[in-house]
Amino acid sequence: MENARRTQAVLTARRAGLVGCTGCGKVHAAGDTVCRRCGASLQSRDAKSLQRVWAWLAAGMVAYIPANIYPMLLTTNFGKTQENTIVGGAIELFLHGSWGVALIVFAASVLIPIGKFIAIGYLALSARSKVVIRGHGRQHLYEVVEFIGRWSMIDVFVVAILSALVRFDFAATVNPGIAAVSFALSVAFTMISAQNFDPRTLWDAYEEDDT
């Protein structure tokens, strides 16, 4: 009844008795186990995908905590050392009037990672169930998450570049703090998490609909 409005039934590869290679995209018959073109193993559904997603996501979230607690930048200016956490730095920039830069930093360092956590968590949770967002929407969400993931590294790049460039000994020195490493790890983990997600599972729920 609910699905009556659907204009088009979803035919998945599995139902069609096919399996696609995730490496090169070649479509094989369901029974094949090895890609005949690139040699990658073929699986219609990655049964352990969700486990990995959750594991990496958890790692990313764990890493995100020290990234926010510990200082990101250690700025030494005429013997005075100043420590800035991610949020602290953004707030400081905002207070200094550079609200544009502050917004970018805040978005890249706080909004995007947290958004990613939520998005991946949502996708992983809802993979096998029918939820409000339809299969297409969730597919778009997944694509966005995968695309935007690397941009979260903007903060890490800033720290890396500053640390490399600002080396004036006593006058001014910038050193990365523990948070920089943690943040980089967190971003990396969430990227791996997103990559491990098997978007094919998003459609399994609709498969049953049609039976």
Partner 1 sequence: MTDPRPAELDISPPRPSFWRNLSFVWLVPVLALAISLGLAWQNFANRGVLVEITFLSAPGVTAGETTIRYRDVTIGRVEQVTFTPDLTKVLIRARIDKEVATFLDKDAQFWIVSPKVSTRGISGLSTVLSGVYIEGAWDQEPGVQAYRFDGADGPPLVQPGRDGKRITLITDDGSLISEGAPVFFHGVEVGRLEKPRLTVTTDSIVVDAFIEAPHDRRLNSATRFWDTSGFEVSLSGAGLSVNFDSMASLLAGGVEFDSVYEGGEPVSPGHVFQVYPDQASARKSLIARSSADAVQIAAEFGESVSGLEPGADVRYGGLKVGEVVAIAAQVEEDETGPNVRLMANLAIEPDRLGLPAGAGKAETLDFFEAAVDEGLRARLAATSIFSAALIVELVEIPDAAPAVFERAAEPLPILPSEKSNLPDFTATAEGVFERINALPIEELIEQAITMMASIEAVTSSESTRAVPDTVVALLEDTRSLVNDEAMRALPGDIRATVAELRAVVSELKEGGAMKNLASALERADKITSDIATASAEFPALVEDLRAVAKKANSLEAEELVAAATRVLDSADKVIGSEAARDLPPVLNGALDEIRTTLAELREGGAVENANATMASARDAADAVAKATESLPDLSARLEKLVTQSEALIAAYGERSDFNGETLAALREVRSAARAVSQLARAIERNPNSLLIGR
Of residues 188 through 207, those in contact with partner 1 by CB under 8 A are 189, 196
The verdict on 63 binding partner 1 (CB under 8 A) reads: yes
CB-nearer residue toward partner 1: 13 or 58: 58
Shortest Cβ distance from residue 73 to partner 1 (Å)?
15
Identify the residue among 79, 97, 129, 165 touching partner 1 (CB under 8 A): 79
Nearest to 109 by CA among 89, 93, 94: 89
**Long-range Cβ contact pairs of 169-172 (< 8 A, separation 24 or more):** 170/78, 170/79, 171/77, 171/78, 172/75, 172/76, 172/77, 172/78
Q: Count of residues for the chain?
A: 211
Nearest to 116 by CA among 142, 91, 90, 94: 142
Binding segment (CB under 8 A) for partner 1, from list 78-86, 105-113, 143-151, 159-167: 78-86
The verdict on 103 binding partner 1 (CB under 8 A) reads: no
Binding segment (CB under 8 A) for partner 1, from list 57-65, 110-118, 125-133, 154-162: 57-65
Question: How close are the terminal C-alpha atoms of the chain, in Å?
Answer: 14
Kindly state the helix (H) or strand (E) to which residue 182 belongs, with its residue range.
Answer: helix 178-196
- Per-residue binding string, partner 1, 147-186, x by CB under 8 A, is -------------------------------x------x-
Identify the residue among 37, 45, 48, 140 touching partner 1 (CB under 8 A): 48
Q: What is the Cα–Cα distance from 168 to 83, expressed in whole angstroms?
A: 17
The verdict on 106 binding partner 1 (CB under 8 A) reads: no
97 HSE (CA, 13 A, CB side): 0
Binding segment (CB under 8 A) for partner 1, from list 33-41, 46-54, 126-134, 139-147: 46-54
Give, in order, the Cα–Cα distances in Å from 66 to each of 39, 111, 179, 187: 41, 17, 6, 13
Contacts with partner 1, residue ranges (CB under 8 A): 17, 47-48, 51-52, 55-59, 62-63, 65-66, 78-83, 178, 185, 189, 196
